[in-house]
Amino acid sequence: MSFEYHEPPSVSEAVALAARFGSEARFLAGGTDLIVQINRGKLAPRHVVSLHRVPGLDTIAVDGHVTLGALVTHRALERSPHFQGRYRGLVEGAQVVGGHQVRNVGTVGGNIVNASPAADVVPVLLALDAAVTCLGPEGERTLPLEEFLVGPGQTQRRPEELLTTVRFPLLGPNSATAFLKAGRRKAMEISVVCVAARMTLDAGLERCREARIALGAVAPTTLRARAAEHVLEGEVPRAELLRRAGALAARACQPISDVRASSQFRRLLVETLVPRVLARCLERIREEGR
């Protein structure tokens, strides 16, 4: 079960190693998914390419966009002064990933590439219309996160590609995000269901201009609930409408039954959490408007 270990000092050398070893290689970021999977015998890479010496991938840049390097840790997201306001949903997603030991090393890039349907930061990024950039021997390509995610543990990433950044547009005024998670206990728990939302209201803070709702742990990939988004857009988001959005979101998901919860219970959670997470966005927008 052993492997050969590499620690390239640059992005280009990391990509060159991945190109040389193809699907026999795996990148190692925080290791909180990869090492567990290797120990369980689920993965047996012949080459492990650690990224901890690669510079420049751990920065958070806010200019015309927000750009997160793939090696930004959950801890760094939680603490970033950029995300305490309109982007609060990102902090809420990052905050519930494992305990401090996991968040100190676990990365955004690992959360995305691991492609667990229960990943907690991914739904918030989906609600923010994020796109991911991969670098391979032939150059860079950028694709919407939603397209990038293919199935449990599966993405569009080619084995020789390094995920370098994830980027999303800046949120304008009258916008907010929020995230909620249901687990079997309060801390250190994989999501039974998690939901993220973003809402933008018109200038008079009356009608919903744009809505995004993303659901985790209810389908093979993190899922956008489009019908629920559409029912909100252009309308006055009263409590009754939020409940309708919840019902539509519950209809959009295809949850499994497993040791954590039954499929029906997961649907019920979606129906309950979606109106709540939307209401939280509305509260935040109104607070900011005051």
Partner 1 sequence: MRKLPLSLTINGETHELLAEPHHPLLEVLRTQLGLIGTKENCLEGECGVCTVLLDGMAVNSCLLLAAQCQGRRIVTIEGLGGPETLHPLQETFVEHGAVQCGYCIPGMILAAKAYLDQNPEPTEGEIREALSGNLCRCTGYQKILDAVLAAAGVLAPMR
What's the closest the beta carbon of residue 247 comes to ligand FAD, in angstroms? 26
Binds partner 1 by CB under 8 A, chosen from 11, 19, 24, 31: 31
Using CB under 6 A as the binding rule, whether residue 30 contacts ligand FAD is answered as yes
What's the closest the beta carbon of residue 117 comes to ligand FAD, in angstroms? 10
Q: Which residue's CB is nearer to partner 1, number 79 or number 251?
A: 79
Using CB under 6 A as the binding rule, whether residue 75 contacts ligand FAD is answered as no
Using CB under 8 A as the binding rule, whether residue 20 contacts partner 1 is answered as no
Using CB under 6 A as the binding rule, whether residue 160 contacts ligand FAD is answered as no
* Contact (Cβ atoms closer than 8 angstroms) between residue 103 and residue 96: no
DSSP 27-96: EESS-TTHHHHHHTTS---SEEEE-TT-TTSS-EEESSEEEEETT-BHHHHHH-GGGSSTTHHHHHHHHT
Q: Residue type for 25, please? A: A
Whose tokens are 């966005």? That residue is: 281
Using CB under 8 A as the binding rule, whether residue 153 contacts partner 1 is answered as no
Report the alpha-carbon distance of residue 170 to residue 173 in Å, rounded.
10
Q: Number of residues interacting with ligand FAD: please give it, by CB under 6 A.
A: 28
- The bridge status of strand 208-216 relative to strand 223-224 is antiparallel
What's the closest the beta carbon of residue 145 comes to partner 1, in angstroms? 25
Using CB under 8 A as the binding rule, whether residue 49 contacts partner 1 is answered as no
Whose tokens are 């958070």? That residue is: 60
Q: Which residue's CB is nearer to partner 1, number 74 or number 244?
A: 74
Helix and strand numbers, DSSP H then E, in the chain = 11, 14
What residues make contact with partner 1 under the rule CB under 8 A?
1-5, 7, 28, 30-32, 35-36, 38-39, 48, 50, 52, 75, 98-102, 104-105, 186-188
